[in-house]
Structure 1
Amino acid sequence: MKVSTLSILAAAVLGIAAQSAAAAETKIGFVNSDRVMREAVPAVRAQQRLEKEFEKRDQEMQRMAKDLQSMQEDLERNGMTMAEADRRNKERAFNDLNRDFQRKQREFREDLNQRRNEELASVLDKANRTVKQIAEAEKFDIIFQEAVYASPRIDITDKVIKSLSEGK
């Protein structure tokens, strides 16, 4: 009976020692994806492309918003002194413009979100390939992209951003 207890204890000690040795050899990394998507050159270029692509529509939306605001102020200020027919016509014009503005605003947001998702997917794909290349080159066992806490010692975000920015 003593022999089996002793052999179980010895096996457990050997198992723990083997796990400790394996854990000591495990190489772990962490990448802050949000930082990569903000700071890497391809992400910055994608953001600039989006801004340029949607600049005219954004200016048009701002112009329409100003027109709506001035129409509303005019109605509030002069509505009581206007003839009934004039006030009704101005209210109808205001409502038509408001409806058109809301439709265009919704379309603008949908188009912008779709294009942003396309651009970010492209950047994310490049970033993931870069992370995989770094992992293989530096023999990482695992690289996390989401963590509650990651020590700066295992953070390879700067390497990823640098590699992406150099176009590797």
Structure 2
Amino acid sequence: MGKHLHRAAAWLAGLALLAGAGAAAAEIKIGVVNPAVLLEKSPQAEAARKRLEREFAPRDRELVRRQKELRKLEERLARDGAVMSESERRKLEREIRSRRRDIKRAQDEFREDFNIRRNEEFGKLQRQVYRAIVSLAKEEKFDLILGDGVLYAGKKVDITGRVLQRLKEDFRREQGGAGAKKQ
């Protein structure tokens, strides 16, 4: 991020020199976009969250079910352990340890699989946001679009809302095309 800030500052300094030179420098059109807002509020982001939820909800429910079963065994041991035979108590303790290990392993696998898929979805979303920014920049003939690392940008140069609108239009178009293909 620091490298981008320095690069942007150098660009802006160069632009200021050009503008101040008084030569027949053409007006430079600069826009600023907040990628975090786009990654949070775009319909593509919401669709990605829903896909992940649909994909991982069954495994999550299964983990919760297994944890409840484990708690019941632990409660049984706490409640009845003193009146159980030594062999029964040891058998139940082994069962609890075994299930605890299995659940931990399943949770670790779940977390790893979820993180991999979330990163895939995030990468896809970043590419969609980038394409929307570039498309808008070319259409509206921007010379420079700044993103992360901008300390202040007035409403006149902030194009985040317009890019978000573009993403919404793209999403509607994609959904319309997907709906037509399914029929």
TM-score relative to the length of structure 1: 0.81
Offset at residue 67 of structure 1 (A):
1.6
User: Which amino acid in 2 is paired with 1:85?
Assistant: S
Q: Distance in 2 between matches of 1:16 and 1:33?
A: 28
Closer/same/farther in 2, CA of residues 110 and 43 from structure 1, 3 Å limit? same
> In the TM superposition, what whole-angstrom CA distance separates every residue of 1:67-119 from its partner, at most 9, and x where no partner exists?
22222222223323322111111111111111110111111111111111111
% identical aligned pairs: 41
Shift of the 95–26 alpha-carbon distance from structure 1 to 2, 3 Å rule, reads: same
Consecutive unaligned residues of structure 1, counting only runs of 5 or more, are 1-13
2:31 matches 1:29: yes
Report how many aligned residue pairs link the two structures: 154
Distance 1:133 1:77, change over 3 A: same
Q: Find out whether 1:109 has 2:107 as its counterpart.
A: no
The reply to whether residue 166 of structure 1 matches residue 164 of structure 2 is no
Shift of 1:19: 7.1
Aligned to 2:8: none
SS of corresponding position for 1:29: strand
Change (3 A) 1:16 1:117: closer
Higher CA-based Rg:
1
CA RMSD of aligned residues (A): 2.4
2:20 matched to 1:17? yes
* Other-structure match for 1:6: none
Deviation string for 1:104-153 (max 9, x for gaps)? 11111111111111111111111101101111122222222212523242
Task: Identify if the C-alpha distance between structure 1 residues 20 and 102 changes in structure 2 by more than 3 Å, giving closer, same or farther.
Answer: farther
Mapped pair 1:43 → 2:45: yes
Q: Residues 147 and 21 of structure 1: is their aligned pair in 2 closer, same or farther, counting only changes over 3 Å?
A: farther
Contact residue 30 and residue 150 of structure 1 kept, 8 A: no
Q: Distance in 2 between matches of 1:160 and 1:98?
A: 48
Counterpart check, 1:61 vs 2:51 = no
Match of 2:159 among 130, 134, 156: 156
| TM-score normalised by length of structure 2 | 0.75
Aligned residue number for residue 127 of structure 1: 129
After TM superposition, give the deviation of residue 157 of structure 1 in Å: 1.5
Q: Are 1:135 and 1:143, in contact at CA under 8 Å, matched by a contact in 2?
A: yes
Q: How far apart are 1:164 and its partner, in Å? A: 0.9
Structure 2 spans left out of the alignment, 5+ residues: 1-16, 174-183
